[in-house]
Amino acid sequence: MEKEVIVAVALGIGLSASTGFRIFLPMLITGLAARFGFLELGDNFAWLSSSVALLSLSVASVVEILAYYIPFVDNLLDTVAMPLAVGAGTLLAASVLPSDNNFYRWVLAIIIGGGASAVVQGTTSMLRLGSSGTTAGVGNAVVSTGENVASASIPVVTIIAPLLVATALVLLFIYMIRRVFRRKNVR
Average confidence (pLDDT) over 146-174: 93
Q: What is the mean pLDDT of the chain?
A: 91
The CA-based angle 24-175-14, given to 5 degrees, is 30
Task: Tell me how many domains the chain contains.
Answer: 1
Residue 27 reports pLDDT greater than 60: yes
pLDDT of residue 186: 64
pLDDT level of residue 1 (50, 70, 90 thresholds): low
Residues spanned by the domain of 154: 2-186
